[in-house]
Amino acid sequence: MYRWGIQTDHSAGAIRHGGGLRPSGPASPMPSPPSTAAAAAAAVQHLESLLPRLTSVPQYKQFHARLLTSGYLGSHHGLRARFLDRIALSPHPAALPHALLLLRSIPFPVTNDLNAALRGLAASPHPTRSFLLLAGRLLPAPSPPLPRLDALSLSFALKASARCSDAPTTLQLHARLVRLGVAADVRLVTTLVDSYAKCGDLASARKVFDEMTVRDVATWNALLAGLAQGTEPNLALVLFHRLAENFQELPSREQPNEVTMTAALSACGQLGSLQDGWYVHEFAKRLGLDHNTRVCNSLVDMYSKCGSLARALDVFHSIKKEDRTLVSYNSAIQALSMHGHGGDALRLFDEMSSYIEPDGVTYLAVLCGCNHAGLVDDGLRVFKSMRVLPNVKHYGTIVDLLGRAGRLAEAYDTVMSMPLPADIVLWQTLLGAAKMHGVVELAELAATKLADLGSNVDGDYVLLSNVYASKARWMDVGRVRDTMRNNDVRKVPGFSYTEIDGVMHKFINGDKEHPRWQEIYRALDEIVSRISELGYEPETSNVLHDIGEEEKQYALCYHSEKLAIAFGLIATPPGETLRVIKNLRICGDCHVVAKLISKAYGRVIVIRDRVRFHQFEDGNCSCKDYW
């Protein structure tokens, strides 16, 4: 009896055991092509039993040779298609080209042959090649017409277009789907919804979804995930509420599952909507999914992004140690890092490293924690001990770590000596460090590199302008602003959100659009009066413009986060935590004001800016004034 059941003799047409095949007993030659139907069926059954055991390219070639010599390559379509499918999905880089070579050698391929190759191409590093196959361009010329496509063909092609974010191809496949008359196939149309969503065409995804007369939970999940991870997370929550409020009336095939929960929680985290996050969590409890590890991982991420680190850690610690996955630890380490608890992030990293191998995400998370907490030596130690190849984000975090600490020469040397080309973000990081420490030469060098790389965003110019302004080099400030005007560069306006009673309120710097803006401005006047008694003086150095002191103070007073905090004070009961999300990095003056408000009003204020979280309480910030 052979472990593989493949003959090892050297007779013509035999399959040899090279490439890792090892007999476990005496050789027993494979039968010659059978002459009776019963013998043929037995031979095919024997060959089919070998398919799951094929693991290497030499073995694929041996099996291919056996099909050729037995005549089954042309006569037994089912066996051939299953063999093609096996090769096409193999992880070996040379396997898929061999599958395509096999497909080209078939005089009259059938639909199953085509589908096997399409499946492999759709899952390969080059999914666009599946479109070439559909167009007949991967087959020899002249070739017979392609076999008729079926729902499975279109499903694989749609998965490829989703991976490529190719909206025009998705639209063409949609047209083929309609022409083929398979629009009633729920699984296929769900794949279409998923493809539109992943291509960013959310309007088409929603339209297809709304037109479906029959759906299953995968359909809901496809649209939910697309909305949550795209540009419309608010609509994802609207859809989730629609599902949750009617779930008892839905057929069993449409009942929400853990994928539904993770998509909704992703939307909550992106929006920073803690109230919606609580609702999803409670709904998960009703469904008995609150102990599902995948859902718990998403809860950790959601609570962290909504500013509730304590709840995030509570959920993490509720996961049994043996059930924690790499994603569990990554989510918790990221949560601690974003909230400025770099030491705790390091300790958790050391705990997990003893029995779960860290990946690139883990290292990036813990390095960010060291960066936010100013743990320079620890960050360098972790970086040097990485067991995965560092990417440009890891290098960027180290450059930022060194730059914030004032070790600019080391930061610059890291950029110049790294084995990867420095990208725009790296030079922007150096520019930011140069601005922080007022080093004009480094700022000018970084700005030149950014211009060479084609960067033309407002932040580059503003940072360089601020470096010049800090040295009172007003002519250089004017020159930078002239360049901005000539290049039609416009400054991104600062805005902030705060959630009150489940409603998101948006504020822009100097905003007077909010229906209660007059109350908000009066509240700001009172705030300034109260915190002035605690020693507040506007940090006008943060408004680096050649304008009068009074104008600088006015420009500072109405920053969007100050408006959001003032509204929170008048719209919530005393003692309630205020949570604010800001699109830019918080400025020094707003940071001081938030600390003093937390002391004067006895409030906890959590601000999530573009980089991290700041929790203000009793006059102090979790960042320890290092950010």
Residue 582 lies in a domain: yes
DSSP 366-433: HHHHHHHHT-HHHHHHHHHT-SS---HHHHHHHHHHHHHTT-HHHHHHHHHH-SS---HHHHHHHHHH
Q: Is the pLDDT at 16 greater than 60, yes or no?
A: no
State the pLDDT at residue 32: 52
Has residue 461 been placed in a domain? yes
Statement to judge: residues 481 and 518 lie in one domain: no
Q: Which pLDDT band, with edges at 50, 70 and 90, does 431 fall under?
A: very high
Same domain flag for 557 and 610: yes
Average pLDDT of the segment spanning 155-166: 94
> Same domain, yes or no, for 419 and 480?
yes
Q: Are 463 and 567 within one domain?
A: no
pLDDT computed for residue 410 by the predictor: 96
Q: What is the DSSP letter of 143?
A: -
- Tell me the one-letter amino acid at 320: K
| Domain annotation covers residue 478 | yes
**Distance from C-alpha of 183 to C-alpha of 572, rounded to nearest angstrom:** 50
In a domain, 432, yes or no: yes
The domain boundary, picked from 486, 515, 540, lies at 486
Residues 481 and 522 in one domain: no
Domain with 608 in it: 505-621
8 Å CB contact between 80 and 67: yes
What is the number of structural domains in the chain?
A: 2
Q: Is residue 535 part of a domain?
A: yes
Residues 481 and 525 in one domain: no
Confidence of residue 34 (pLDDT cuts 50, 70, 90): low
Asked if residue 454 and residue 423 are part of one domain, the reply reads yes
Model pLDDT, residue 544: 45
The answer to whether 414 and 402 have CB atoms below 8 angstroms apart is: yes
Per-residue pLDDT tens digits for 185-194: 999 999 999 9
pLDDT of 25 over the 50 cut: no
Which percentage of the chain shows pLDDT scores above 90?
A: 60
Shared domain for 531 and 605, answered yes or no, is yes
| SS3 letters across 551-614 | HHHHHHHCCHHHHHHHHHHHHCCCCCCEEEEECCCCCHHHHHHHHHHHHHCCCCEEEECCCCEE
pLDDT digits (tens, 9 = 90+) for 196-243: 999 999 999 999 999 998 888 999 999 999 999 888 899 999 999 988
Residues 510 and 540 in one domain: yes
Question: Is residue 166 predicted with pLDDT exceeding 60?
Answer: yes
Q: How far apart are CA 542 and CA 592, in angstroms?
A: 12
Residue 460 is assigned to a structural domain of this protein: yes
The closest alpha carbon to 16, from 73, 63, 80, 72, belongs to 63
What was the pLDDT predicted at 143? 64
Same domain, 453 and 538: no
Return the H-helix or E-strand segment holding 496. Answer: strand 495-500
Structure letter (DSSP) for residue 179:
H
Q: Is residue 323 part of a domain?
A: no
Neighbours of 482 (CB within 10 A): 10
Instruction: Assess whether 547 and 469 both reside in one domain.
Output: no
Domain shared by 522 and 598, yes or no: yes
Q: Does the residue 466 lie in any domain? A: yes
Q: How confident is the model at residue 553 (pLDDT cuts 50, 70, 90)?
A: low
Q: Is the dihedral of CA 267, 270, 272, 278 positive or negative?
A: positive
